[in-house]
Amino acid sequence: MDDLVAGADGRPRCGWCGTDPLYVAYHDDEWGRPVTDDTRLFEKLCLEGFQAGLSWITILRKREAFRSAFAGFDLPTVAAFGEDDVERLLGDAGIVRHRGKITAAISNAERAIALIEEVGSLSDHVWSFAPDAATRAAPSVLGDIPATTPESTALSKDLKKRGWRFVGPTTVYAFMQSMGIVDDHLAGCWVRAELPG
């Protein structure tokens, strides 16, 4: 995999997105762009959990089916899912049918509501773990990008202490990258030049 690739538009972008139009659009329009909406943050934490052991493109291709199956990741609705919903989700070929991940998403919705009641918002809480952007150099090559960081490990431990599941340090770091809590676009990637920081 090349570190930077030029798309059909001639723009240099991070090589992990390849040339798949869906992946390129995700890289250009979403990945690394700051998100503060609690529903979108919860959705991404869930989808990163479902992604464990799979490729992100697999989840990305199923994202609309996940959104439909999980009521747009509306926290109160998902938190109220019962065993009938679990069985419905296990029968839904449009999503990843893994009982542990499904029940974790439901339980995590309950945990997210409790966290919001405690601290005000999921956004404020997860963003409080953001590293100091001024101290982070832009990665030059894909090999410069870590799988975990002290911040992702700390957020993972915090969420696990609160009862969240499928939120290991690697999963949490992927979440932090995608939600713009960290900027891991490579130096030279056209998106990096557009981002704040």
Is 56 an annotated catalytic residue? yes
Is 43 an annotated catalytic residue? no
Find out whether 92 and 62 touch, Cβ atoms under 8 Å.
no
What token pair was written down for 59?
Answer: 């989840």
3-class DSSP string for 58-71:
HHHHHHHHHHHHCH
What token pair was written down for 160?
Answer: 């696990």
Burial 73-112 (b: 16+ CB within 10 A, else e): bebeebbebeeebeeebeebeebbebeebbbbbbbbbbbb
Query: Cα(176)–Cα(135) distance, rounded to whole angstroms?
Result: 16
CB atoms within 10 A of CB 153: 16
Which listed residue (30, 56, 110, 190) is catalytic?
56
Which listed residue (23, 31, 48, 173) is catalytic?
48
Is 26 an annotated catalytic residue? yes
Catalytic positions are: 26, 48, 56
